[in-house]
């Protein structure tokens, strides 16, 4: 292999990086991903979850290479996560609020860093790379990003739900330059992929402890932004270590949150309710206003209340299946798709969190505020929680 490099990956085994890829990987912006944990605070539940966006990005490129040799696609699969803030999705809401950006909006970072210089030297048009980050096969219902993170997250958390038959899946999915589709013989492999995705969201990504730690972190960082001690755009240059050090230095609320995260003294669930238990629409709830009003009703400081209204996960499963030279939607072939869509929606929970000593006060106030009807009989979903 001329002027290339081999990487020994814990999930895929040996991954080959060509010389032009190494130039992208060696930029400071890509190297920052070594210090951003893939799953944020999931190691508070799954101690092995210390893997990073760095290895995931290389893994995504490796998956993409099974589908195409297009350098634009391979470059975008490497760069698709350079817009992540510290602790990955834990800072997503903050950059949306203050910068009107999502982590997929990588153009600003590319054009204002050495990444852009490298792409230009390589003859790769920046606009095309940026566009490819949000396009198949890097981003779609079934994509190289999801395939790698399901395999990787399952491996490092020790949760077997995310195990995917990678060899069979990658053998049966195709990329025609515009869309990802599945050959008819790959339907069962895709069903397995979709089930794994659903189970990992339930067991890992939406685990209540992960949600609580994430929301505590968000609240502490937002406190620093509102106090003028940090600008939201700084998060796009910081890593996990930078932001935790900043929180620890604070003599105020952020310092308390940093100590709680360090010692795993997390807020507790005062309320954890499904949609059919809530007596009002929550789609347009102003969470900051709700926190203030619930805290006032409970007679405590608003810093001690967190209202968590999770974003609805996409229930889109439109995957083209090639049958006798005709593309047929996956949902017409697999009844499992409809079940997964319904099951995913039923897993949604409104959370209200607070320190242990305030749980009873906050629970009562939250029930009144949201008009919650809590059944005495536990839901099957709650019984199955880890």
Whether 377 has a pLDDT exceeding 60, the answer reads no
Tens of pLDDT along 72-90?
999 999 999 999 999 999 9
Secondary structure of residue 259 in the 3-state scheme: helix
Q: If you search the block for the tokens 């350098």, which residue do you land on?
A: 71
Whether 51 has a pLDDT exceeding 90, the answer reads yes
In the chain, residues under CATH classification 3.30.70 are 268-312+348-386
H or E segment and range at residue 182? strand 180-183
In the chain, residues under CATH classification 1.10.3210.10 are 5-158
Question: How does residue 341 score in pLDDT terms, banded at 50, 70 and 90?
Answer: confident
Tens of pLDDT along 105-121?
999 999 999 999 999 99
Q: Whole-number mean pLDDT of the chain?
A: 93
Whether 233 has a pLDDT exceeding 90, the answer reads yes
Residues 249 and 58: their CA atoms lie apart, in Å, by: 34
So what's the pLDDT on residue 383? 47
The per-residue b/e assignment along 203-228, b for 16 or more CB within 10 angstroms, e otherwise, is: bbbebbbbbbbbbbbbbbbbbbbeee
Q: Are 318 and 331 in contact (CB under 8 A)?
A: yes
DSSP 197-250: HHHHIIIIIT-HHHHHHHHHHHHHHHHHHHTTSS-GGGGGT--HHHHHHHHHH-
Tens of pLDDT along 304-329?
999 999 987 766 778 999 999 999 99
Q: Are 373 and 277 in contact (CB under 8 A)?
A: yes
Helix axes 253-263, 240-249, angle to 10 degrees: 120
Task: Tell me the CATH architecture of domain 5-158.
Answer: Orthogonal Bundle (1.10)
| 268-312+348-386 CATH pick, 3.40.50, 3.30.1450, 3.30.70, 3.30.110 | 3.30.70
Cβ neighbours for 157, distance < 8 A, ≥ 6 positions apart: 39, 42, 46, 48, 49, 204
Residue 4's CB is within 10 A of a number of other CB atoms, namely: 12
Question: How does residue 42 score in pLDDT terms, banded at 50, 70 and 90?
Answer: very high
Whether 380 has a pLDDT exceeding 50, the answer reads no
Whether 384 has a pLDDT exceeding 60, the answer reads no
Q: If you search the block for the tokens 């019984």, which residue do you land on?
A: 383
HSE toward the beta carbon, residue 139, CA cutoff 13 A: 16
So what's the pLDDT on residue 315? 65
Whether 376 has a pLDDT exceeding 50, the answer reads no
Least confident of 162-166, 174-178, 349-353: 162-166
């Amino acid at each position: 292999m001329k002027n290339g490099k081999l990487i020994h990956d814990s999930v895929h085994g040996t991954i080959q990086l060509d010389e032009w890829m190494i130039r992208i990987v060696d930029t400071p912006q890509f190297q920052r991903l070594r210090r951003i944990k893939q799953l944020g605070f999931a190691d508070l539940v799954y101690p092995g979850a210390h893997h990073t966006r760095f290895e995931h990005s290389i893994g995504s490129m490796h998956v993409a290479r099974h589908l195409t040799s297009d350098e634009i696609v391979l470059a975008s699969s490497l760069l698709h996560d350079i817009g992540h803030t510290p602790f990955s999705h834990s800072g997503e809401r903050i950059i949306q609020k203050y910068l009107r950006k999502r982590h997929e909006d990588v153009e600003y970072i590319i054009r204002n860093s050495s990444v852009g210089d490298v792409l230009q030297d390589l003859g790769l048009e920046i606009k095309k790379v940026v566009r490819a980050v949000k396009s198949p096969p890097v981003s779609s219902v079934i994509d190289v990003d999801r395939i790698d993170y399901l395999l990787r997250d399952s491996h490092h958390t020790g949760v077997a739900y995310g195990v995917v038959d990678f060899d069979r899946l990658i053998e049966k999915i195709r990329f025609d330059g515009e869309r990802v589709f599945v050959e008819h013989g790959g339907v069962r492999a895709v069903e397995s992929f979709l089930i794994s995705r659903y189970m990992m969201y339930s067991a890992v990504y939406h685990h209540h402890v992960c949600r609580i730690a994430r929301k505590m972190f968000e609240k502490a960082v937002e406190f620093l932004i509102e106090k003028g001690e940090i600008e939201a755009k700084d998060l796009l240059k910081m890593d996990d270590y930078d932001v935790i050090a900043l929180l620890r230095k604070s003599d105020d609320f952020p310092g308390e949150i940093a100590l709680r995260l360090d010692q795993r003294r997390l807020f507790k669930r005062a309320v954890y309710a499904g949609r059919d238990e809530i007596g009002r629409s929550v789609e347009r709830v102003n969470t900051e206003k709700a926190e203030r009003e619930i805290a006032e009703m409970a007679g405590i400081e608003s810093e001690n209340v967190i209202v968590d209204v999770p974003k609805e996960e996409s229930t889109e499963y439109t995957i083209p299946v090639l049958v006798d030279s005709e593309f047929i939607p996956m949902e017409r072939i697999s009844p499992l798709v409809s079940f997964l869509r319904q099951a995913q929606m039923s897993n949604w929970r409104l959370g209200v969190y607070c320190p242990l000593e305030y749980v009873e006060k906050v629970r009562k106030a939250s029930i009144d505020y949201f008009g919650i009807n809590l059944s005495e009989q536990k839901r099957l979903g709650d019984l199955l929680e880890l």
